[in-house]
Amino acid sequence: MTMTDSAWRTARVTWRSLILMAAVAFGTTEVLCADDAADSGKAAPATTTVDAETGLTALNKQKTVLLDRERKRILLRTQVVLREGLLEMLLCRAHTKEHESVLAVDSEAYIIHAGLLAVGAEPGHPVRFQPEFQPPAGQQIDIWLNWKDADGKAHRIKAQKWVRHVTRRYYAAPLAKLPAGLTIPKESELKYDAANEELVWFGPMTAAQRDQLKALSDDKAYRKGIDSFYERSQPRELDADWVFAGSGFFTQKDGEKWYQAEAGNVICVANFGDAMIDLAIRSSATNDALMFEPYTERIPPVGTPVLVELIPVTKPAAPEPNEATSPGTPPSQD
């Protein structure tokens, strides 16, 4: 019986995934390359390659996903694609969502998922909104970023340092009326909304701006509002952890299965039901309520190559019930 094109694509995606997951998990050398199967209707096995630069196993033909079994981590060869704007993710699949992601990787998403399984990461579940909100769950994944600056100096930092809470937004503070004699400079980002009885400020406020605006009046409510703008608008880096949510498969009407993270949502900072890796907190994906933006000053120029490390976090082993542990002595590490 001849398979239809749709049925073949369904079987090929499922077969590719299973073979790759088995290969990297058990150390065999044969995997199915992402796009090497010809359209003849027959899957063609290929051999994994060793990346000459790192000595690690390359899981795709682009050599952008590398398996480091000894150190239990996955390395992704990516590049910077965004330094300013609102963020929905830290890293997307190339040619999908570069307009809202700091990094992009040229790889199918399922290959990264399979690599994480191979180094022992355990997926949980993406965000759930019904019947009640449940944040993404799964094994914690530490993410490190490696790159070289224009002088060739190497850098390695936690990925959280490239993401901050949104500062390019409006802030409001209650104020029944403007203090007598106060005139707000026309060029200032400070405005007064008489209809809503609020002071309004846009963007981050510097200490110099705070002091200049406070010098305009001794009114306590007004000065309190200025202080609140300064405090609330200061850059704050991301202070949450990522977890291996695992995305999922969607079966289309024609029966074709689709690994949902292929749409781009590889490492998210806004909660998505198809995220592979997501923040373990509530983080809105609604455009007018996005919570994060790039920490522009810390990110190298667009196009800079960045090696991303994905490291599953192993929790300390719990003491045996009959094992005495003195106060202050941590349990043994795996």
Q: Output 23 or 274, whichever has higher pLDDT.
A: 274
CB 237 within 8 A of CB 295: yes
Residue 259, judged by CB atoms within 10 A of its CB (0-12, 13-18, 19+), counts as buried
Per-residue pLDDT, 229: 95
Average pLDDT estimate for 143-158: 97
Where helices occur in 27-85 by DSSP H, the ranges are: none
**Ramachandran area for residue 88 (φ above 0: left; ψ -120 to 50: alpha; else beta):** alpha
**Secondary structure class of 186 (helix, strand, coil):** coil
Per-residue pLDDT, 301: 98
How far the first Cα of the chain sits from its last, in Å, is: 51
Q: What integer best gives the mean pLDDT of the chain?
A: 82
Average pLDDT estimate for 14-25: 48
Confidence of residue 317 (pLDDT cuts 50, 70, 90): low
Per-residue pLDDT, 253: 80
Confidence of residue 68 (pLDDT cuts 50, 70, 90): very high
pTM of the complete model: 0.75
Per-residue pLDDT, 133: 85
**For residue 227, what are the contacts with CB-CB under 8 A and spacing of at least 6?**
210, 214
Does the pLDDT at position 332 exceed 50? no
Does the pLDDT at position 31 exceed 80? no
Per-residue pLDDT, 130: 85
What percent of the chain is modeled with pLDDT above 70? Answer: 78
Does the pLDDT at position 94 exceed 60? yes
Per-residue pLDDT, 265: 95
Confidence of residue 30 (pLDDT cuts 50, 70, 90): very low
What percent of the chain is modeled with pLDDT above 90? Answer: 64
Average pLDDT estimate for 272-298: 79
Does the pLDDT at position 17 exceed 70? no
Does the pLDDT at position 36 exceed 90? no
**For residue 158, what are the contacts with CB-CB under 8 A and spacing of at least 6?**
142, 143, 144, 145
Per-residue pLDDT, 316: 64
Confidence of residue 129 (pLDDT cuts 50, 70, 90): confident
Does the pLDDT at position 106 exceed 60? yes
Average pLDDT estimate for 70-96: 96
Average pLDDT estimate for 45-54: 70
Per-residue pLDDT, 145: 98
Does the pLDDT at position 4 exceed 90? no
Q: What is the token pair recorded at 111?
A: 């290959």
Confidence of residue 288 (pLDDT cuts 50, 70, 90): very low
H or E element at residue 307: strand 305-312
Per-residue pLDDT, 155: 98
Does the pLDDT at position 240 exceed 60? yes
pLDDT digits (tens, 9 = 90+) for 246-259: 998 888 788 778 89
Per-residue pLDDT, 15: 40
- Taking the CA atoms of residue 53, residue 54, residue 59 and residue 63 in that order, the dihedral angle to the nearest 10 degrees is -30
Q: How far apart are CA 184 and CA 100, in angstroms?
A: 35
Q: Output 241 or 328, whichever has higher pLDDT.
A: 241
Average pLDDT estimate for 242-270: 90
Q: What is the token pair recorded at 15?
A: 């077969």
Average pLDDT estimate for 187-209: 95
